Amino acid sequence: MKILVVGSGGREHALAWRLAQSPRAQFVYVAPGNGGTAGHPNLKNLPITDMRVLAAFAKRERIQLTVVGPEVPIAAGIVDHFRNEGLKIFGPTRAAARLESSKDFAKAFMTRHNIPTAAYQSFTDAGRAHAYLEERGAPIVVKADGLAAGKGVVVALDLAQAHLAVDQMLADNQTGGAGARVVIEEFLEGEEASFIVMVDGQHILPLATSQDHKRLLDQDRGPNTGGMGAYSPAPIVTPGIHARIMREVIAPTVHGMAQEGMPYTGFLYAGLMIDAQGNLKTLEFNCRMGDPETQPIMARLKSDFVNVCEHALEGSLDQVELEWDRRTALGVVMASRGYPEAPVTGDVITSIPPEADDLLVFHAGTAFKEGALQTNGGRVLCVTALADSVRMAQKRAYEAVDRIHFEGAQFRRDIGWRALNRKH
């Protein structure tokens, strides 16, 4: 069958690469794709981003399965549109995607359903927001209500920073329409984990656990980014914590959405904060898979992913049992110079090692131009290695990273450090 993956990042490269390995996949279109999906024999880039044009293409070409990577087309209603056109697509509807596209909706939903999350209030009036900040004190977290491409969250360590964030989001409107409302919430301490499941409206199929590294620099310093590396499994999610996340967060979310008349279908990503006592709180929902979490997760998935997606579309995820590679997968993101503020593109990339059983280089911001592979975005590659321990996977990934070259490449040296520091 023919398959379509929507998006152009490392997440989409990893999804398309895994889907293409199914014996049932004839080939996989990636729209618009990147330099990595262009260079792969079973993948084909499609230079279309308009959802109406994509749906027309999918009908004409008899695409039997579409999987959407990023949140922007989902929040714009691509799933609703494809379904209206009679096409099979895995992802949440625009209404269900409000769990990510409106932080105010997500917080109110969690409150209604007793899902653990940081205490909060939401504001459209700057004066009231400033008064609330004074009442609560720092540290405190200010979030733009809508999608802001990872730039909508300010973890303010002092009140001056928090007031500035409110002014920028509400008054200056630097985050576009997204900042017309802000959520101000309690600062949480602990360790973060990404918990991603597939949902068919009713049944929940958890994927392997993972942990991201959001800060640009080693030891979690520097500015927030889309994610500088990830590994799977995440040892912080012990079997006990796993059960609690399912019981306290995921199940009430999926059942609550169905109860409220907007059954959730698609990948559901809960960003969690877990404290030293093992208490957990939900930081955010995403209505998609994580990037770069997808890269190590897909590297470990052994089951036929086309079959899994079909069960998801038929409402029979309860019949699926996933099989995982027992090794640890660890992915190091290589980003372009200037990332995250002002990424420089157009640098030539050389010495990418070939795919091996224990090494996969997923592309994100890359493109073939003038006969050469060049940087074409902030996050460029995710170098993903598999090995029997976190330390060995880390060593294997950095051996490859050290050979790959492009001007001013930025990457962290310590991906996996929390897992390595854990006392077992």
**For binding to ligand AMP (CB under 6 A), which residues are involved?**
118, 141, 143, 153, 155, 185-188, 192, 214, 224, 271, 283-284
By C-beta, is 27 or 187 nearer to ligand AMP?
187
Q: Least distance from C-beta 349 to ligand AMP, angstroms?
A: 28
- Work out whether 200 is an interface residue with ligand GLY (CB under 6 A): no
What one-character DSSP code corresponds to residue 219?
Answer: G
- Work out whether 100 is an interface residue with ligand GLY (CB under 6 A): no
Write out the two tokens for 149. 């491409």
Amino acid at 271: G
Determine the interface stretch with ligand GLY among 82-90, 118-126, 289-297, 306-314 (rule: CB under 6 A).
289-297
By C-beta, is 109 or 195 nearer to ligand GLY?
195
Give the whole-angstrom CA distance, residue 322 versus residue 311.
Answer: 12
Per partner kind, with CB cut-offs from 5 to 8 A, the member of ligand AMP, ligand GLY, none near residue 332 is: none
Cis peptide leading into 354, omega within 30 of 0?
no
Strand order in the sheet with 211-212: 211-212, 229-232, 328-335, 379-387, 359-363
By C-beta, is 21 or 174 nearer to ligand AMP?
174
By C-beta, is 71 or 347 nearer to ligand GLY?
71
Q: Which residues are within 8 A (CB) of 380 and not within 5 positions of it... i.e. 6 or more apart?
A: 333, 334, 335, 336, 349, 363, 364, 365, 366, 406, 409
Strand order in the sheet with 27-32: 43-45, 27-32, 2-7, 63-68, 89-90
By C-beta, is 156 or 312 nearer to ligand AMP?
156
What one-character DSSP code corresponds to residue 254?
Answer: H
Per partner kind, with CB cut-offs from 5 to 8 A, the member of ligand GLY, ligand AMP, none near residue 215 is: none
- 201-240 footprint of ligand GLY as x/- string (CB under 6 A): -----------x-------------xx-------------
- Work out whether 290 is an interface residue with ligand GLY (CB under 6 A): yes
Q: Pairing state of beta strands 63-68 and 89-90?
A: parallel
By C-beta, is 133 or 400 nearer to ligand AMP?
133
Among 104, 248, 291, 310, binds ligand GLY (CB under 6 A): 291
By C-beta, is 76 or 138 nearer to ligand AMP?
138
CA 50 to each of CA 9, 14, 56, 76, 417: distance values in angstroms, whole numbers, following the listed order: 17, 22, 10, 11, 41
Q: Least distance from C-beta 418 to ligand AMP, angstroms?
A: 13
Give the whole-angstrom CA distance, residue 237 versus residue 233.
Answer: 8
Per partner kind, with CB cut-offs from 5 to 8 A, the member of ligand AMP, ligand GLY, none near residue 290 is: ligand GLY
Determine the interface stretch with ligand GLY among 59-67, 112-120, 287-295, 356-364 (rule: CB under 6 A).
287-295
Give the whole-angstrom CA distance, residue 234 versus residue 226.
Answer: 19
- Work out whether 331 is an interface residue with ligand GLY (CB under 6 A): no
- Closest residue to ligand AMP, Cβ-based? 284
User: Is the separation of the CB atoms in 368 and 394 below 8 Å?
Assistant: no
Strand stretches in 261-315, DSSP E? 265-274, 280-286
Question: What b/e string do you get for 47-74 counting C-beta neighbours within 10 Å, with b at 16 or more?
Answer: ebeebeebbebbeeeebbbbbbbbbbbb
Among 80, 104, 248, 293, binds ligand GLY (CB under 6 A): 293
Main-chain dihedrals φ then ψ at residue 183, nearest 5 degrees: -105, 130
Determine the interface stretch with ligand GLY among 46-54, 135-143, 283-291, 306-314 (rule: CB under 6 A).
283-291
By C-beta, is 226 or 256 nearer to ligand GLY?
226
Per partner kind, with CB cut-offs from 5 to 8 A, the member of ligand GLY, ligand AMP, none near residue 227 is: ligand GLY
Question: What b/e string do you get for 346-357 counting C-beta neighbours within 10 Å, with b at 16 or more?
Answer: ebebeebeeeee
Total residues in contact with ligand GLY, by rule CB under 6 A? 7
Q: How far is CA 298 from the centre of its chain?
A: 13
Among 122, 286, 374, 384, binds ligand GLY (CB under 6 A): 286
Among positive and negative, which fits the CA dihedral 243, 309, 325, 320?
A: positive
By C-beta, is 64 or 271 nearer to ligand GLY?
271
Q: Which residues of the shown chain bind ligand GLY in the complex (CB under 6 A)?
A: 212, 226-227, 286, 290-291, 293
